[in-house]
Amino acid sequence: MSTLGFCDLTISYDGVCAVKSFNDILHSGEWLCLIGPNGAGKSSVLRAAAGLVEYSGSVAIDQKEIPTTSARWRAQNIAFVPQTPLMPDDMSVVEYVLLGRNPYIKHFASESARDVEVVEKIFKRLDLEQFSNRMVGTLSGGERQRAVIARALAQEAPVLLLDEPTAALDIGHQQQALELVDNLRREQGLTVVSAMHDLTLAGLYADRLVLMHQGLCVASGNAQSVLRSEILAEFYGVSARVHHEPDGTVVVIPQRSTIN
């Protein structure tokens, strides 16, 4: 059981405020999706939770403040998938995924049999076995994304932070990646925070959406309440129709401003 709490989180870079008083609390198995235009502060919230930026206010896992914890403890409790991960081309997939075991390996030791076992299980789960000895540089976009998620899962952390996990993927691989995360959080009770640009997909998978704009949280709730055309017009400056499917799915459809 892990609770991830944000309280009055404020982040500024060189005096410019990127996030202002962000508040939220997530329980085990919940999926929160941060949406909002570019530069709204979504990534900053994720990076604060991963212990990568300084902030004021509080971000805590089970009441443990992030900056007071060691990098090793954080990595055992939070897995972070950045927007554009740096993947060395000449590293094999199995070597790459084994990096996820780093928080469990003593400073100067090497991987134990258990580490290899964990990674093998994940390879099976993500259907990556045939790639294990391929070089990362030879993978396609979808395969790379799966390798990154595999590395994050190898951390066996109860909290998963995903920064635009589907940005580089086609529609099929987008669905595949999100289905995978969704299954994992149901099976293992992962707490997921993701930042996403595809509003329809965000509404489809997340329990809650938080719309951010210029560092502020301007709307939050389920897809029906956040994804409304007047809200999207105000904060994205987009002219879009919002369509409600009978099963509750909310579909956002951009519109052309002039119709011939």
Partner 1 sequence: MLLAKQAAKTRAGTRFSAWLLASIALLITAVLVGTMIGPAGPQWWRVPLELANRLPLISIDSGVTSEQWNIVWQIRMPRVVLAALVGAMLSVAGASYQGVFRNPLVDPYLLGVAAGAGLGATVVFSLKRQTTQNWLIDPLPLAAFAGALIAVLATYLVGTAFGKTRSSTTLVLAGIAVTSLATAVQTFVLQRNNDVVRQVYSWILGRLSSATWSDVRLILPYIVFSSTVLLMHRRLLDVMRVGDDEATALGTNIRRVRLVVVLAATFGTAAAVAVSGLIGFVGIIVPHTVRLLAGASYRRVLPLSILLGAAFLVAADIPSRVLADPAETPIGVVTAFFGAPFFLLLLRAKKTQT
Rounded to a whole number of angstroms, the minimum distance from the CB of residue 10 to partner 1 is 19
Rounded to a whole number of angstroms, the minimum distance from the CB of residue 147 to partner 1 is 12
Nearer to partner 1, 120 or 207 (CB): 120
**What are the residues binding partner 1 (CB under 8 A)?**
47, 50-52, 70-76, 78-80, 82, 85-88, 90-92, 94-95, 99-100, 102-103, 105, 107-110, 120, 123-124, 129-130, 132-133, 155
The number of beta carbons lying within 10 Å of the beta carbon of residue 171 is 10
CA distance 74 to 68: 10
Give backbone dihedrals phi and psi of 4, rounded to 5 degrees, phi first. -110, 115
Q: Which residue has 């799915």 as its token pair? A: 249
Rounded to a whole number of angstroms, the minimum distance from the CB of residue 110 to partner 1 is 6
Rounded to a whole number of angstroms, the minimum distance from the CB of residue 187 to partner 1 is 22
Nearer to partner 1, 80 or 236 (CB): 80
Nearer to partner 1, 79 or 195 (CB): 79
Nearer to partner 1, 13 or 27 (CB): 13
CA–CA distances in Å: residue 122 to residues 34, 117, 141, 204, 223: 27, 9, 19, 25, 31
Dihedral sign, Cα of residue 168, residue 43, residue 131, residue 187: negative
CA distance 256 to 260: 10
Nearer to partner 1, 37 or 82 (CB): 82
